[in-house]
Structure formats: structure tokens, C-alpha cells
Structure 1
Amino acid sequence: MAEPIRVLLVDDQQLVRTGFRMILSVADDIEVAGEATNGSQAIEQVAALRPDVVLMDVQMPVMDGIEATRRLAEQTRVVILTTFDQDDYLFDALAAGAAGFLLKNSGPEMLLEAVRSVAQGHALLSPEVTTRVIAQMNRHRAAPGRPDAIAEVDLTERETEVLVAMARGLSNAEIARELFVGEATVKTHVSNLLAKLGVRDRVQAVAWAYRHHLVD
């Protein structure tokens, strides 16, 4: 049998940690490796426990979740869990390296899906957040006046088209249909542009596109 996904819970409210622990305990493929009450403790616990996924609150004493995520993103996968549905938290979390962003009222099934998806190397945003990100990205199409950002990372024209389509929220299959290419070809372009951008996943790529105004 495969090893269970080890999760670290980081939240300054014990009731919240207890609730998440109860939800995760019903899954045979997930185990709670430990808990922390602030970002500083989270850093210590990650070093000691080596969890696969960290469920991280935003507002905590000593060190907040955004700063902790920034320090941990290279060591483990972080999912931000917050009650504060604010754009600054969302984009700060993505820029810090979070692999997921969920609202605490997303529900048990979404929480389990986030842990499994992120542990497999994917990224996941709650539906409310995804809709808002796409809405912001789609306010303007690709900006023809920003060739400098593209040239700096040596993106090809096709890779740029794929990146913009990703920022619009399209799946690989949808991108393939729009660009009249095979899905395997799209996957290759995605892998290449992730490597060129120096990012781990699609969420980070979309954040890069947003920061460099390929989409706005």
C-alpha cells in the first residue's frame, strides 16, 4: 500500500484544527502528522516532521501564513485556508508559493480533494476564488506592449498562447481544441513554459502572467 499523505495543520484556533483533523481522519490515504499555532511553529514542524502538505491559516500571531508560506514553499506544498475572502490575501499567497487556496467554508470534500491534488504536484483553488481570478485575468487580453517579459524568459509564440489560455482558466483539452493541436502537444508546451518561468505549477504560471501583464 502507498504511504499516506502526511499533513501539518497550522491555525491559531484549536477548534479549527480539531475540525480539520476530524475531516482528514476519515480518509485512509491521509494522516495528520502534527499541528502548529503560528507560522514560526510551522517552520519548525516542517523541519521536524517533513509533511507532504501544510494546511496554513493566514492571520496568526508571531508569523502570519503568507510569510510562513514564502519560507516553506521550496520545502513542502502549502494550501492556504482562510475565512477572509480578499484579493490581497489570494494574490499574496500565490506569489509566496502556495499551491492551493481555499476558503474555510469550502466543505470536507473540497478539503480532501485539495490535500490529494496538491500532494500529487497539482494546484487547486476553491471555485469562488477560481472564478474571481479568471474574471480579473480576462479583463484584458494578452498585452502586445509587453514583449520584454516574454523575451526575458525566451517563451515561443506558441508557449505564450498556451500561457494566456491557462490564465483564462482553460484546461489542456480546451487549449488543444482552441489552438487546433493535440492534448499531448499542449502538455509539452505547459511543461516547457513552467521550466522557463521557473515555477512549479499552473497556478504559479498564471500568477507570473498576471504580474508581467500578459493578462491583467
Structure 2
Amino acid sequence: MTVIKVLLVDDEELIRFGLRAVLDAQPDLDVVGEAADGAEALGLVRTLRPDVVLMDVRMPGLDGLAATRAILRGPDRPPKILVVTTFEADDYVYEALRAGADGFLLKRSRPAEVVQAVRLVAAGESLLFPASIRRLAAARAGRDPADGGAVARAGLTAREGEVLRLMARGLSNAEVGDRLHLGVQTVKTHVSSLLGKLGARDRTQAVIAAYESGFVTPESDSGQP
């Protein structure tokens, strides 16, 4: 059995205590360390080499956003990062996802959801909540506009564009394949190709790029899950 090493980063000791209790109760999860701020987290990532970091975004000193950016810029293969937040409609969360965080969890999440999220991102999947991404994108509309031509310049094929729109609705590879009558491996090939063209680290970054470029809009997709 492969054991997933987890680092907890939060300035509230009670939050860290609760997360440790939930995660250490699982035979395949091991909390290898705790940090109370981003600066401490950077050192522990280098020494403990966790597989997954649960990162609070709002902390004194070096906050979780800056720490996420620093970890993902590092020369070594970075761990997966799950942002832990109180409020989903938070600019810090949005910027962390843009920087390459693999998803986010609300502090009110149920224990089973926390466990599932850690396992999911450790396996290389993004923890994407399309409704939340829509709300984040809508909240930022008109403020500090991003480069709206990113998707257009990427030169996606028509099929890749279809896959990206379905990804923005939160569909899995299997669900995308069912919708487009494609095999899962073919969908994975399209996803890999469009990520490369967009320069996106994962599905979450690709979906954010789709919203920021206007390729997908919160209004046009508001009826989707």
C-alpha cells in the first residue's frame, strides 16, 4: 500500500489538529508535519518532501498564496497543493488556482470530503468545483482583466475546444467521452494536448484560462453543474 505524505499549513492550531485527526485515521495517509505560516512551510516542503500540502491562504507573514507560488517555482518536483479556505469566493483562492494549486477545500468540508480530496490530487487529478470557479470568475469580471487572447492564440482544434467547454462544466474524462462519443484514452490525449497549448499545469488552470479569455462565460454556462 502506498502511503500519501501530507503537510498541514495553517496558522490556527485547532484547524491543524482537526485535519491531522481526520487524515491520520486513514491507513494510506500520513501527516508528516505542520506549519503555522508560509515561510515555515517552504522549509518543511524541502526537508519532508510531502506528496500533498493542505495550504491555508490567509496567514500572517508569508501567506498561502505567496507560499504556493514559491513552492511551485522550486527546482524540485513540487507536491500537490490543496488550498484550504473559509470563503470560496476569495481572490486569494482564485490566484492560488491560477498559480497552479490543484484545487481547494472549504474549512467546513466533511471529513470524508477531505480524505477523498487528498487521495484525488495525490493521484494526479485536479479538485475542480465548476460552480465555484464560475462564481470566482464572475466576481472578478471587469477587475484586473487577464489576457483575453490566451485561448485564441493557443490554436486549439475544434475537438479540443469542445473538450475544454465540457471540462469547464466539471465533466470527467469518461463523461466527456460519453458526451462526444470518444474513448477515454482519446479524451486524455485531447486534454493533454490542450493543456500543453495553453501552458496550463492542470485542468483547473485550463478552465480558468477559458473563463478569463471569454471562451467560456459564467453567464452562458450558469445552468451547468
Q: CA deviation at 1:147?
A: 9.7
Q: Percent identity?
A: 51
The two structures have a TM-score, normalised by structure 2, of 0.82
* 1:63-102 mapped onto 2 (5 Å cutoff): 63-74=62-73, 75-102=78-105
The residue type paired with residue 176 of structure 1 is G
The corresponding residue for 2:49 is 50
SS state of the match for residue 11, structure 2?
A: coil
The corresponding residue for 2:132 is 132
Distance between the aligned counterparts of 1:103 and 1:80, measured in 2? 8
Distance between the aligned counterparts of 2:107 and 2:203, measured in 1? 23
Distance between the aligned counterparts of 1:148 and 1:133, measured in 2? 19
Q: CA deviation at 1:205?
A: 1.1
The corresponding residue for 1:142 is none
Q: Deviations over 1:157-187 (max 9, x none)?
A: 2111211221122222332233333333222
The residue type paired with residue 49 of structure 1 is L
* 1:195-206 mapped onto 2 (5 Å cutoff): 195-206=196-207
Q: CA deviation at 1:135?
A: 6.2
Distance between the aligned counterparts of 1:83 and 1:159, measured in 2? 34
Q: CA deviation at 1:25?
A: 1.0
Is residue 165 of structure 2 the alignment partner of residue 164 of structure 1? yes
Distance between the aligned counterparts of 1:187 and 1:78, measured in 2? 22
Seen in structure 2, the aligned counterparts of structure 1 residues 147 and 99 have a Cα distance that, compared at 3 Å, is closer
The residue type paired with residue 86 of structure 1 is A
Aligned residue among 106, 121, 126 for 2:124: 121
Contact 1:80 1:93 survives alignment (8 Å): yes
Q: Deviations over 1:73-107 (max 9, x none)?
A: 35211101111232423321211211010101111
Distance between the aligned counterparts of 2:120 and 2:22, measured in 1? 16
Q: CA deviation at 1:72?
A: 1.4
Q: Which runs of 5+ in 1 are unaligned?
A: 139-145
SS state of the match for residue 60, structure 2?
A: coil
